[in-house]
Amino acid sequence: MPNTAPYWINHLNLQPHPEGGYYKEVFRSANEVSRAGETAARQACTSIYYLLEGADFSGFHRLASDELWYFHKGAPLHIHVIATDGTQTTIELSDTGTGQLQAIIPPHTWFAAELPTGTGFALVSCAVAPGFDFAEFEMANRDELLAQYPQHAKILGRLCRP
């Protein structure tokens, strides 16, 4: 039973995430930092567990901070990244020979995640530094991204939430 999505959702007390999947914040640093050129203090780092299962996906979104993803269990997870210059890449997060155990998403970069087979589940952790704040979380607007990156219409049409 410990190798199923329902087991991990229950065991880790995960809740639905606005971008898709399930999550639970497990760390919020008491230390504070300021970004270069800013005076506001923010938590230095935050970390969550994140789980995707089946055909669910993390819709295209971006953050103002760096985000690091760490693979724990389950099926390979694809993270689709659109860099600020419009280049699209896919990172396989997995413990297979074709994957890597961690991935780094730079700030202000559009990205989405899915299970390429649409089956099984993937359990990962995501760390954000400076710490995650929903005020700096932006879900993609499908029409705006399609206008900006028409060359990626297929993936944007599939992984942007309406």
- Residue 112 pLDDT > 90, yes or no? yes
Return d(Cα 38, Cα 93) in angstroms, integer: 33
| Burial (CB count within 10 angstroms: exposed 0-12, middle 13-18, buried 19+), residue 12 | middle
Query: pLDDT of 70-99, one tens digit each?
Result: 999 999 999 999 998 999 999 999 999 999
Q: Give the Cα separation of 54 and 31 in Å (integer).
A: 37
- Name the residue type at position 37: G
State the Cα–Cα distance between residues 141 and 146, nearest whole angstrom: 9
Fold of domain 5-32+45-159: Jelly Rolls (2.60.120)
pLDDT at 1: 60
Contact 66, 108 (CB under 8 A): no
| Separation in Å, CA 78 to CA 1, 66, 145 | 25, 18, 20
C-alpha–C-alpha distance, residues 1 and 9, integer Å: 12
Given pLDDT bands bounded at 50, 70 and 90, which one contains residue 159? very high
Distance CA 34, CA 118 (A): 40
Of the candidate ranges 3-12, 31-40, 58-67, the one whose mean pLDDT is the lowest:
31-40
Q: What's the whole-number mean pLDDT along residues 4-30?
A: 95
* Domain regions of the chain by residue span: 5-32+45-159
Least Cα distance to 110 among 131, 80, 132, 73 occurs for 80
